[in-house]
Structure 1
Amino acid sequence: MAARMTLPDDGTAGTLVGRAWIPAAPGTIAGPGVVAIRKDGVFDLSQRFATMSGLLELPDPAGAVCATPGRAIGSVDTVQWLAPCDLQVIKAAGVTFAESLLERVIEEQAKGDPGQAEAVRVRVLDLLGGSLAGLVPGSDQAMKLKDLLIQQNLWSQYLEVGIGPDAEVFTKAPVLSAVGAGAEIGIHPGSSWNNPEPEVVLAVNSRGEVKGATLGNDVNLRDFEGRSALLLSKAKDNNASCAIGPFIRLFDASYTIDDVRQCTVNLEVHGTDGFVMRGDSSLAKISRDPLDLVAQTLNGNHQYPDGFVLFLGTMFAPTQDRDNPGGGFTHKLGDVVRISSAKLGALENTVNTSDRIAPWTFGLRELFANLSARGLLG
């Protein structure tokens, strides 16, 4: 992937760190490593930072990266990129935008049948007055709306987490299972209604401090989850169904949590059949503040000693017909999915089925064996 396809609009003005497969030099062993993306190339920092989790535990990760020269290993378009998280738990917040909330209710009412979706959409929007914009979760107004929807037999577990006091936060994928930029992403072969979910992903350390952000694709099977919310794990967690990257932009003078709050995430899907879909998701329209979602993830009731990354949710739920009128959107093999944001660059992946993608084999035991063999644990 060329540099112009992955770097932010301001190039390398920020502090950009990622993970890449470090090729073996004479007398060394190849393996994953923390890297910095700079104007003059990509630099291996693994001699100082064995893991991304460890780097984010520092008081000032951006300052530490800037103070570490590292070893040049190539350019942005020659490096094999991995997901920029390693030991962190991969968490996701769901139904954090009013528009995606409506689509989740529609999925449930349609029982996973895309052919029924449009009729349900008209009924639900009519009852809600066309929009949920501006509704504060947990407020008196939200609770009055809940009572109305219950009376109309339209109350849903999605509405509970969308406008109630408690956010939906779930584990998206196992540690180390996410794929990075340029990799294939996986759709379950049994799914006939699915879509990408373009999102901002926060990088959070064990103290609940947000140290930076990246992009992610929280691939979703709408038919599986629509049949039953208890199928969430099958709808969300499949081989290569979680993509994160291309890098983490660390918070520094050029980039802060306020940039996250105001950013727009863009989505493009290009199919081999000539189909093109575009959309965007503005974090300014999120129903819950990103730091509230972090606080609902890590608190006195739940700790993450290696930190976590947190998908913030999306307002983009594709309804554009692809094949048949009223049939909506679903992926086809070979779709190229590009998720981008001005200050976070672009994450691009190609769609395949989860059973055809190379199985995930590099887990925690393999990682620590590799780090030990390279002398990076001492």
Structure 2
Amino acid sequence: MELSKNGTFVGRVWLPQEEGPALVAVRAGVLFDITSKDAPTMRDLAEMDDAVGFVRAQEGKAICNLDDVLSGRAANPSIPRLLAPCDLHAIKACGVTFARSMLERVIEERAAGNPDLASKIRERVTAVVGDSLRNLKAGSLEAAKVKEALIEEGVWSQYLEVGIGPDAEVFTKGQIMSAVGYGDEVGLHPISRWNNPEPEVVLVVDSQGRVKGATLGNDVNLRDVEGRSALLLGKAKDNNASCALGPFIRLFDESYSIDDVRDAELDLRIEGEDGYVLTGRSSMKEISRDPLDLVAQTIGPHHQYPDGLMLFMGTLFAPVEDRDVPGQGFTHKIGDVVTISNAKLGALVNTVRLSTECPPWTFGASHLMRNLAARQLI
């Protein structure tokens, strides 16, 4: 994995000798421990007015080569392993933010989670909607007219409401400290039979609503569970190892900004143990809402996050290619290796398992505080 040489990349690793995490900066292919009393957590670093200046001013301690971690040698218990790059941040997500994937949510709802019905419903909905949603701005007068037309045709949906209406869908993707990182297993709830990865750009937002950087994320999607009922969204989204983030946070500096996020192109590659390969792309240029609008709808006078938040912004990727059964589209198989990549953010790689078979989540916020206190960092 190549990281931009002029970018400011920070992350978290597990230090076996400390039995806890450390903040790291990536410099010339080497990970430097920059954990300190001033920034014992990623939350504390992100809250700084000049986080980039702070990172650059830290001499740090070289702990390992990046290649050693990425090559799998981190399985050696003596070598640090990458963690999700956030810690005390809330993990939030905005859904139905792209026209193409929005139609797939309508199809899931109409099919009530049954993949056998998806193909015929897709044909009908597409015939009614056509390309009218592609360049539609959510909440605009044009969007209101499309809403009226869809209601008349009898295909209006709660997913179209949040997709083109004034209010974005915002939900909790995972609990604080629950996300997995690069190289970890990502989990599917065992009740699901129709699911897929969701490659997304994830914003790092501080407690004042300021966007400090970005990373990559996999917002694992259980199409059948959420499709049966929108009230099952929490069960479909928040499970053991169902949220992956990483590999690093790229902080906003002179080389990277919110405009780079707006222009981001994400590549997706799924490799099955049986030799199956699926590739896809998601372009932030086609998002229906501006990233800063999504931030404003998530944090503000109506909702505070004193430790900041990570914000998934949705995906254009909607897998309709049949994997096994004609008309049923794509679904994961255990052992799939999912790679989400972007030229400016690196690559996030995870292997698919059942949530019940992924390592249990045992290190939470209380454990973090005790560990940092024992190391005299707080």
Superposed pair shares fold, TM > 0.5: yes
Superposition deviation, residue 23 in structure 1: 3.1
Superposition deviation, residue 115 in structure 1: 1.1
Matched, 1:15 2:8: yes
In the TM superposition, structure 1's runs of 4+ consecutive aligned residues that sit over 4 Å from their partners are: none
Paired with 1:186 and 1:122, the residues of 2 have a C-alpha distance of 31
Question: Given residue 286 of structure 2, which amino acid in structure 1 is its aligned partner?
Answer: K
Q: Percent identity?
A: 61
Superposition deviation, residue 189 in structure 1: 1.0
Question: Given residue 362 of structure 1, which amino acid in structure 2 is its aligned partner?
Answer: F
Superposition deviation, residue 131 in structure 1: 4.6
Paired with 1:128 and 1:20, the residues of 2 have a C-alpha distance of 47
Paired with 2:361 and 2:237, the residues of 1 have a C-alpha distance of 16
Superposition deviation, residue 251 in structure 1: 0.5
Matched, 1:264 2:257: no
Question: Which sections of structure 2, spanning at least 5 residues, go unmatched?
Answer: 70-79
Match of 2:375 in 1: 374
Mark the CA change 1:40 to 1:336 in structure 2 (over 3 Å): closer, same or farther.
closer
Match of 1:139 in 2: 140
Question: Given residue 154 of structure 1, which amino acid in structure 2 is its aligned partner?
Answer: V
Superposition deviation, residue 327 in structure 1: 1.6
CA contact (8 A) 1:22 1:44 kept: no
Match of 1:74 in 2: 64
Superposed CA deviations along residues 32-66 of structure 1, whole A, max 9, x for unmatched, are: 01110110510111124200000011111111101
Question: Which sections of structure 1, spanning at least 5 residues, go unmatched?
Answer: none
CA contact (8 A) 1:22 1:73 kept: no
Question: Given residue 42 of structure 1, which amino acid in structure 2 is its aligned partner?
Answer: L
SS, match of residue 347 in structure 1: strand
Mark the CA change 1:241 to 1:169 in structure 2 (over 3 Å): closer, same or farther.
same
CA contact (8 A) 1:83 1:244 kept: yes
Question: Given residue 23 of structure 1, which amino acid in structure 2 is its aligned partner?
Answer: P
Work out the number of aligned pairs and report it: 366
Match of 2:356 in 1: 355
Superposition deviation, residue 154 in structure 1: 1.0
Superposed CA deviations along residues 285-338 of structure 1, whole A, max 9, x for unmatched, are: 110000000000111110000000000100101111111111210000100000
Match of 1:44 in 2: 33
Match of 1:103 in 2: 104
CA contact (8 A) 1:125 1:131 kept: no
**Mapping for residues 50-61 of structure 1, pairs under 5 Å:** 50-61=40-51
SS, match of residue 202 in structure 2: strand
TM-score normalised according to structure 1 size: 0.95
Superposed CA deviations along residues 176-235 of structure 1, whole A, max 9, x for unmatched, are: 000000000000111100000000000010010000000000001000000000000111
CA contact (8 A) 1:340 1:346 kept: yes
Superposition deviation, residue 30 in structure 1: 2.9
Matched, 1:226 2:227: yes
Matched, 1:35 2:24: yes
Match of 2:55 in 1: 65
